[in-house]
Structure 1
Amino acid sequence: MKLKIHIFVVMTVLCLFSCTRRGSGGYSTSLLILEDSLNTMPEKYLNRIIDIDTASLNKADKALYYALLVQAKALVPDTPLQLSNQSDEALSYFLGQKDSARLCSLYFSLGKVYADNYAFFRANSSYNQAEKYVRNDSRMLFSIKLGEASIYHFKMMYRMEEECLQQALHIAVLLKDSVLTAEALHELAKLHLTENNYSESDNYLRRALQLLPSRKSALRAEYYKDLGKIYLAMNKLDSALYYVDIALQNDSSFNFKLSCNLIQGNIFLKMHRLNDAERILMQDIDKLPLNWKRDTYYKMSLLKDAEKDYQTAFLYAKKSIGCRDSLDMNNKIGYISNLNAFQEHDRQQQRIVRINMELAEQKLAYYKLAVSLFLILGVGILIVYRVKRAKRKIEVTLKEKEEIMVDLQNSRCEAEHRYQQEKDDREALEVESLNQRTEYYKRLNALTVPILIKSQNSQGFMHLKKEDWDIIVQNTNACFNNFTYRLKEAFPQLTSEEVHFICLLKMELPLSLLSDVYHIAKGSISRKKMRLKEKMKIENMTLDDFIRQF
């Protein structure tokens, strides 16, 4: 009789516990209103979110508040808002409530924040978690695929990037949303532009412009600007200038005008309109980001070098190197910050795993107790008690073994994952080091040739001695992995003078400088390239492209 009373008391407690769990998921109306309004006007509601007093919030409202902070940081990246481990608390609460929609939104916002801070490993992990909880929200899945594609683009994993973009395009087509479809086509166009596949890039952009509504003037301006980039890369300079002008007609904002000025400056340089190029490139240069300043000063040094104004060219080259050094220092600081962030990310993941295990154990214990009580009531108090005790012993033993196997498997997967990540990081660092070394030697050779030229005749032609050619060949080999040795092995019919000429082409020296070195007109340099191309039996590409890829 006493046992029946105890069972009744336990069942009553369980019922109260269940009701408490079901009733704990309510949020305050003010937070729900902020959640609905944040996507439409993030700047307006950001300060209202920050000013909320968290001391008066219950557990549910705190979780939603922390999620809104992360979402605001993702929507307004320039805000000085600092995020701590509060996002873990929100994730844990939403996991306990099985709130898939908010879990997906929070993981997606975390992915954007991490990507903005160049923590791409954590960003990719967050996007994968967001995709896990996306359910039937096709628009969110579209945004996730674009986010994953941006990470693959930074890692130069272009095949994976294209797969994500094609999936995003398929989603946009199914939604029959012309703006989203145009956005996916635009991203595909930028990818093919990076891969120098200009015809495909042009095709995607024109399709995007056809679909984009006319009211989206800022997006149309961006698309036309990219069309200008494509035609600049194809050396169709009049068309490039035409599309950049159309872009400026659609968007006259200051930052957009700065980006267009750089493209126009490059167009004028290729047109040999040097005065126009200098005027455009040097316009508002103090307001440009460091990487744009670096490239602009470098182009100006080449321009002044072509005009024989070596002193000014040297000053511009010095400013370019100064900007490069500042960027390198910022990158080093960012690398150190990311390494620390990776360690913190690992600790956060361990905490999340531990919380998930605790929740799973709580749920398991709850269901076990409920099943036990129903069995006791159905079969009989004494018999059910004995059977349940034996059954629980077996279940506990099996659970312990299963947990041991799962822990061993998780440990192995984590070790393999860490090893692969470390390997990828080392490869990325090696690639970055090689790129920096290559860029350094290109600039070194570009500055070395004018210094080596010590004598000029009355017409301004240059005379290189054997020692000068030896230095150029040595720098080329050091920069491009024994370039001349590989060249002679592949084309033994080349003479030493032809090898020297190819070394200058490998350094991508301007046509005017080649003309001065060989004492011939620029047209003769082009014919010299054609004869050399025929001698080397190069087909389906120019001599410059072949040497650049060799």
Structure 2
Amino acid sequence: MLSDLEKMQNQPDSVLSSLQQIDTTQLNVGDKALYIYLYYTSLALQNKLPESNTSLEKARVYFEAQNDSSKLCRIYYLKGKINHQHYYLIKAQDDYETAIQYITPETDYRLLIDLKISMSNLYHFYRIYDREEQLLEQACQLAIQHKDSKLITRLCLLKSNLMKEQKLYQEALSYLHDAQNYAETSDTTQIAQIYSESGIVHLLLLQTDSAYHYLNLAAQTDKQNPLYRLQSVGLDAYIHQKEHAIDYFWKVIEMLPLDKRILAYRYAAEEMKKQGKMNESRKFLEEHIRLRDSTYYGRKEELLERMQNLREYKKQQERILQVEKNLSDKEVLLHRVVAFFAIIILASFLFYYRTKQNKNKLKIQLLRTEQERNQSDLKRIEAEIQYLKEKEEKETIALARLNQRLEYFKQLNEITIPILMQNRNKAGALHLQENDWTIIRNNTNACFDHFTERLKKLYPQLTEEEINFCCLVKMELPLSVLAEIYHIAKGSISRKKMRLKEKIGIENMSFDEFIASL
């Protein structure tokens, strides 16, 4: 029998077959208990646990008397599994927690992982997702420690399903990628499952191309499973908006487990409604409602469990009453007083705990609000500092340009004004020759980046004389000097500027401002 225990993990079928050939009527109490232990263990490895745990209870009594912690740990785990599959969740949780108490350093790590997975399933049912995630992570670390790639892959799939349940799709994809890295290449069934789950998550992210890629990989990897092929073909028909896509939807959904089928009908109804296909949407919705109503049988199981718990509670109360009758009135009164004060203390403690918890939550909320306000003020101050820096940089650049411009004018006037003054006649009037205008234009082009060429290119309608006038304006010569050069009054110079402004088509600025901007 001990050799059966060693072979059980690798060859559960052959061990079970060997156990079934043993004549248990010839076994003593110890061997009978060991037989039951091995028999239930091999059934659990094949997911074939029986309806009742009566025989297992006999083995528990024996090994408890022997104080065999390793076997008691597995027995309580198996009892929890049986109660769990019959939805006796409170009993199952008690059995799992009792199994934890019998864990020793020699306990098989695979049993520890199975125990954590089973408890995480309970917390999933209770919707305590943080505790479920914690248990799965502990199990995953244990599997990584023992380099068990098959268990690591299984746990990554479970963690992915948990993330998908909470609509954390990117995290779900990350766990699926980890599962793909750890999966054994020879296990095509598991690899196909990973591809299928990846396709479903991509579909939830509305990434239809990626979803089709993974579903198609699943169909190619496990050709024996018709569900994968239907998923792939159905999604392809949906992407290309083919009429028979709905038929594939029906076939795929009907092959899903009941809980997933209910959700699938609802999602399909919503999608058909978005596409304006109201008849198909109504059919999917009716099927969703029908299946949802049919799942109320689960409530019946829960009610039966509560009735059973109530019966046990009544029996317990009857035993208590019987004990109380055998006690003296003084002892009964003392017990009642102690129980009363215990309840008062417990209620006071619970009230204090709840009050303190609420205060802590309020403090945390206030601290978060204060932190958010401080962060907002800090960002605003940083933005103001950045704005002032940019403003200072712009002002510095503008000042540098202004200084450069003043320097240009200074150099230009230093060059040009002496030339102009040399051309005064005896009467003091200015007379500029052609070579003088050439010098003025060359100086202007040198200081203002080929000013005359750019002006002529932009406004070819200007004459040479008008371009010469624009050069003098560009040098910002006063009206008095311009009047001396052209032998006209200052008012005539202003009118000359107005005529050129109209000729060029300047709007919203003066002629001097326009020339200065070129």
**TM-score of Structure 1 vs Structure 2, range by shorter chain:** 0.5 to 0.7
Kindly tell me: are residues 144 and 346 of structure 1, through their superposed partners in 2, closer, same or farther at Cα, counting changes over 3 Å?
Answer: farther
Residue in 1 that maps onto 2:378: none
Counterpart residue identity of residue 244, structure 1: L
Give the alignment's TM-score, normalised by structure 1: 0.50
1:177 CA displacement: 2.9
Residue in 1 that maps onto 2:218: 247
Task: Spell out the pairing of 1:481-520 with structure 2 (5 A cutoff).
Answer: none
- Does 2:292 align with 1:324? yes
1:174 CA displacement: 2.0
Residue in 1 that maps onto 2:246: 278
Kindly tell me: are residues 212 and 110 of structure 1, through their superposed partners in 2, closer, same or farther at Cα, counting changes over 3 Å?
Answer: same
Residue in 1 that maps onto 2:75: 106
- Please give the alpha-carbon distance, in whole angstroms, between the structure 2 residues aligned to 1:266 and 1:146: 33
Residue in 2 that maps onto 1:67: 37
- Does 2:61 align with 1:92? yes
2:71 counterpart SS class = helix
Q: 1:140 aligns with which of 108, 111, 134?
A: 111
- Please give the alpha-carbon distance, in whole angstroms, between the structure 2 residues aligned to 1:348 and 1:181: 45
Output one character per residue of 1:86-136: Cα deviation in whole Å (capped at 9) or x when no partner. 222211111111222211222222233333333332222222222222312
- Please give the alpha-carbon distance, in whole angstroms, between the structure 2 residues aligned to 1:129 and 1:235: 45
Counterpart residue identity of residue 102, structure 1: K
Kindly tell me: are residues 88 and 154 of structure 1, through their superposed partners in 2, closer, same or farther at Cα, counting changes over 3 Å?
Answer: same
1:283 counterpart SS class = helix
Counterpart residue identity of residue 204, structure 2: A
Residue in 2 that maps onto 1:543: none
Residue in 2 that maps onto 1:174: 145
**1:88–1:348: 8 Å Cα contact kept in structure 2?**
no
Q: 2:94 aligns with which of 125, 132, 151?
A: 125
Residue in 1 that maps onto 2:201: 230
Kindly tell me: are residues 183 and 117 of structure 1, through their superposed partners in 2, closer, same or farther at Cα, counting changes over 3 Å?
Answer: same
**1:73–1:113: 8 Å Cα contact kept in structure 2?**
no
**1:212–1:220: 8 Å Cα contact kept in structure 2?**
yes
Residue in 2 that maps onto 1:115: 84
Counterpart residue identity of residue 275, structure 1: E
Kindly tell me: are residues 250 and 348 of structure 1, through their superposed partners in 2, closer, same or farther at Cα, counting changes over 3 Å?
Answer: farther
- Please give the alpha-carbon distance, in whole angstroms, between the structure 2 residues aligned to 1:325 and 1:174: 45
- Please give the alpha-carbon distance, in whole angstroms, between the structure 1 residues aligned to 2:314 and 2:244: 55
**1:101–1:133: 8 Å Cα contact kept in structure 2?**
yes
- Does 2:305 align with 1:338? yes
**2:199–2:215: 8 Å Cα contact kept in structure 1?**
yes
Residue in 2 that maps onto 1:219: 190
Structure 1 residue runs of 5 or longer lacking an equivalent are 1-28, 351-403, 421-550
Counterpart residue identity of residue 65, structure 2: G
1:167 CA displacement: 1.2
Name the count of aligned residue pairs: 326
Residue in 1 that maps onto 2:134: 163
Output one character per residue of 1:242-271: Cα deviation in whole Å (capped at 9) or x when no partner. 1111122222343xx4377468757865x4
- Please give the alpha-carbon distance, in whole angstroms, between the structure 2 residues aligned to 1:288 and 1:82: 25
Residue in 1 that maps onto 2:25: 55
Counterpart residue identity of residue 281, structure 1: F
1:322 CA displacement: 2.6
Structure 2 residue runs of 5 or longer lacking an equivalent are 318-333, 351-518
Task: Spell out the pairing of 1:400-549 with structure 2 (5 A cutoff).
Answer: none
- Please give the alpha-carbon distance, in whole angstroms, between the structure 2 residues aligned to 1:344 and 1:56: 38
1:173 CA displacement: 2.4
Kindly tell me: are residues 101 and 348 of structure 1, through their superposed partners in 2, closer, same or farther at Cα, counting changes over 3 Å?
Answer: farther
2:251 counterpart SS class = coil
- Please give the alpha-carbon distance, in whole angstroms, between the structure 2 residues aligned to 1:205 and 1:239: 14
Output one character per residue of 1:476-502: Cα deviation in whole Å (capped at 9) or x when no partner. xxxxxxxxxxxxxxxxxxxxxxxxxxx
- Does 2:172 align with 1:201? yes
1:225 CA displacement: 1.6
- Please give the alpha-carbon distance, in whole angstroms, between the structure 1 residues aligned to 2:33 and 2:315: 16
Task: Spell out the pairing of 1:264-413 with structure 2 (5 A cutoff).
Answer: 265=234, 271=239, 273=241, 275-283=243-251, 289-298=257-266, 314-328=282-296, 330-340=297-307, 342=309
- Please give the alpha-carbon distance, in whole angstroms, between the structure 2 residues aligned to 1:268 and 1:131: 51
Residue in 2 that maps onto 1:448: none
Kindly tell me: are residues 181 and 322 of structure 1, through their superposed partners in 2, closer, same or farther at Cα, counting changes over 3 Å?
Answer: closer
Residue in 2 that maps onto 1:459: none
1:287 CA displacement: 5.5
Counterpart residue identity of residue 116, structure 2: K
**2:218–2:228: 8 Å Cα contact kept in structure 1?**
no
- Please give the alpha-carbon distance, in whole angstroms, between the structure 2 residues aligned to 1:114 and 1:188: 24
- Please give the alpha-carbon distance, in whole angstroms, between the structure 2 residues aligned to 1:348 and 1:252: 56
1:156 CA displacement: 1.2
Counterpart residue identity of residue 291, structure 2: C
**1:122–1:345: 8 Å Cα contact kept in structure 2?**
no
**2:215–2:228: 8 Å Cα contact kept in structure 1?**
no
Counterpart residue identity of residue 94, structure 2: S
Output one character per residue of 1:362-399: Cα deviation in whole Å (capped at 9) or x when no partner. xxxxxxxxxxxxxxxxxxxxxxxxxxxxxxxxxxxxxx
- Please give the alpha-carbon distance, in whole angstroms, between the structure 2 residues aligned to 1:267 and 1:278: 11
- Please give the alpha-carbon distance, in whole angstroms, between the structure 2 residues aligned to 1:123 and 1:342: 13
Residue in 2 that maps onto 1:524: none
